[in-house]
Amino acid sequence: MTVTSTQVRPRDEKVASPAVHIAGVGKAFGNRAGRVVALDGISLTVQPGEFVCLVGASGCGKSTLLSLVAGLDKPTSGTIDTGGVAAALMFQEPGLMPWLTVSANVELPMRLHGVGRDERRARARELLETVHLLDFAGKRPHELSGGMRQRVALARVLASNSPVLLMDEPFGALDAMTRDVLHDEIERIWSERNLTVLFVTHNVREAARLGDRIVLLSSRPGRVVEEFAVDYSRPRRIDSPEVSQLAAKVTDRLREEVRRHGR
């Protein structure tokens, strides 16, 4: 596939250290009798400012890998290095506190870290403006649409001020139109804030729409079986010929992997 890349965001060539370095990581659950190996020898390097999408069949360990990178669990073997940075993790469900206002939900991580009231309120306003929800700062989560709740969850994750953002199928439960709008939003925020994103999705088109690179994991135990460079320019559309062509290629490879596992 030959496509001119005239709008690719420039990278900071001075930064040499990877944002995330995963080396030979394995993860097993249970004792010897009921031991389940979720990940086996995963190695992956994500450069600062890179947007990497993880795809694979259900149960291949994508979410487990994000939990390990986030520090919510420890690998059975191997190492994970984020350069001393605590990565921020965003889940598929917004997980907002229903009794708190939108603004208070965004303030919550800052409050837990001891940020003063005036500073966190000002920061929450800034973040809600970033996700175009400042007018809804005083609302409760039940008064918002699903897409709006995900915007609040995104603002709350950004409140951690981490340069590394882990996203576990954050748009999977949304309708196609809302998802398309949020693709534009996350791409804009990623670019403006020079974030590093590791993004898990079952939607291969979504991966081809958003990523700089697509990493395909095998069926359980999860291993990296192939990587696909996304070498066409931004901005993109999920229904563009380039996205469709790459998505078809990744899907064919994913089907091979699922069939192999089925045998």
Write out the two tokens for 148.
Answer: 């709006």
- Residues 80-127 pLDDT 10s: 999 999 999 998 889 999 999 999 999 998 998 888 999 999 999 999
- Residues 121-177 pLDDT 10s: 999 999 999 999 999 999 999 999 999 999 999 999 999 999 999 999 998 878 888
Residue reference for tokens 């004792």: 31
Domains of the chain, each with CATH number or no CATH = 20-87+162-262 (3.40.50.300), 96-161 (no CATH)
Angle at 167 between CA 236 and CA 196, to 5 degrees: 70
- Residues 36-93 pLDDT 10s: 889 999 999 999 999 999 998 877 889 999 999 999 999 999 999 999 999 999 988 8
Residue reference for tokens 């986030």: 70
- The pTM is what? 0.89
pLDDT of the residue at 35: 85
Inform me whether the pLDDT recorded for 21 exceeds 70: yes
Tally of CB atoms within 10 A around 238: 17
SS3 144: coil
CB burial of residue 23 (10 Å; 0-12, 13-18, 19+) = middle
Write out the two tokens for 25.
Answer: 């990581």
pLDDT of the residue at 262: 59
pLDDT of the residue at 263: 54
Q: In what order do the strands lie in the sheet with 213-217?
A: 88-90, 164-168, 196-200, 51-55, 213-217, 224-229
SS3 2: coil
pLDDT of the residue at 174: 86
CA neighbor of 205 nearest in space, from 194, 217, 214, 193? 214
pLDDT of the residue at 227: 96
pLDDT of the residue at 11: 47
